Amino acid sequence: MRGARPCWISIPRIPRGGLNEACLKAIREWSIPAGISPRIALSRSRDEEGLLRNRRSAWNAEWRECPIALWLEGLKNAVVAVNVPHVSFAHGLTSDWKHWIIVDKTEVAAALKLLDALLAEPSKAIMVYGGHSMPLPPGAYDWDKLVLDPVVTRLVKRDFETLFDREEWFHENGLPFHRGYLLYGPPGNGKTSVIRVMAAHPAVSAYTINLYGEHIDDDSVTELFEIAYGNAPSLVIFEDIDRLFPKKEEEGGRIKVCLKHLLNCLDGVVVNDGVIVVGTANNPKVLDPAILKRPGRFDRVVGFKNPTADLRLSYLHKMAACIHRTELVEAVADSEGFSFAQLRESYILAAQFAFEEERAVTVTDRVLSAGLHDSS
């Protein structure tokens, strides 16, 4: 880059899996400084392509300090990439590595456009404020994997999927472009599963926070909403808020976050255009009424009840696709009052017995459902 005007740009860490095939083909030439040997950090992990019982491991290689110059198709000058250590004091002392690229100032726009197309797609994850991220598996944005009550389909799935298409309408009518969902009902009926699908939406950045954390306070919640707004459209998740903010203070956990401050954030004291908030509660009756009584905090309050017979049939057939739906009717009758989680556990128990007898699961294994129901 002799004679060029350099510009430093920080880019996210290249995800596991590295550069895709198109990126490798776009590299015309590369070089490293003369007399310098690169340092490559190796770490061992499980070979995800092999069976667990084989206990095969694989080496993951990460390029460290040594800069490398890349001549890419479509750019006149080389792009210099370097990985350097980074120390932060934002949430206590933390250290990490940051990826930087140096490009000619006249080619910044072209370089970023090219890199956006060439870098491997980052994996989706729910970012935990002040903690580690929770990865979401590839293909996690798939509503068809769930069995949903028609009310949930209408008030959550369809509303969420069409929300982004209505952004201009919101603005034209002077309405704030944000949404709040409160999902309530007994455990095991899909509240968390729905949230994970929402978080996996390709256009959404997902965030949550452990309000029980030792250093989590009102300022943490404010910063969480600021981060979510800065990366909108985004999803902010608060699970089990009935345990966090009950009517009677003695019934809740001890946290440093004030309910009034959280409500101010939900009301938009921190600008929250493009921010979607989703909360869960097992029993909304114990919630502090301040959370529910004001419209706009949670626009959709949706119940997740124990599944009906039709939903239980669909769920069992999804798990046991080898069994014809008509053969599952008696098993469905045995599972009256079951949650989705209990249905799943019932099928797992049946499958374990079938495995021990070296045979496939059959509809006669439905007796396990009655046994599980009696013990629950």
pLDDT exceeds 90 at position 267? no
| pLDDT tens profile 93-133 | 566 777 888 999 999 999 888 877 766 556 789 999 987 88
Q: Look at residue 375 in the predicted model and tell me its pLDDT.
A: 40
pLDDT > 90: what percent of the chain?
Answer: 37
The tens digit of pLDDT for each residue in 350-363 reads 888 888 888 888 87
Read off the pLDDT band of 13 (50, 70, 90): low
Q: Which amino acid is at 17?
A: G
Residue 91 has what pLDDT?
Answer: 54
Confidence at 147, pLDDT banded by 50, 70, 90: very high
Kindly report, as residue ranges, where domains of CATH 1.10.8 are found in the chain.
Answer: 309-375
Taking 60 as the threshold, does the pLDDT of residue 251 lie above it? no
Q: Among residues of the chain, what percentage have pLDDT more than 70?
A: 84
Question: Which regions of the chain carry the CATH code 3.40.50.300?
Answer: 135-303
Name the least confident of 87-101, 314-328, 361-375: 361-375
* Region 187-215 average pLDDT: 94
Q: How confident is the model at residue 152 (pLDDT cuts 50, 70, 90)?
A: very high
- Averaged pLDDT score across all residues of the chain: 84
Most confident of the ranges 57-71, 117-131, 152-166, 315-329: 152-166
Does residue 50 or residue 79 have the better pLDDT?
A: 79
Most confident of 69-73, 330-334, 339-343: 339-343
Q: Is the model's pLDDT at 250 over the cut of 60?
A: no
Residue 93: its pLDDT value, please?
59
Q: How far apart are CA 238 and CA 170, in angstroms?
A: 25
Q: What is the pLDDT of residues 28-76, one digit of tens each?
A: 898 999 888 888 888 888 787 777 777 888 888 877 778 899 898 889 9
pLDDT of 9 higher than 50: yes
Q: Which fold has domain 135-303?
A: Rossmann fold (3.40.50)
Backbone angles phi, psi at 303, to 5 degrees: -85, 140
- For domain 309-375, the CATH class is mainly alpha
Q: What is the CA radius of gyration of the chain?
A: 26
This prediction's pTM: 0.75
DSSP β-bridge partners for residue 277: 180, 236
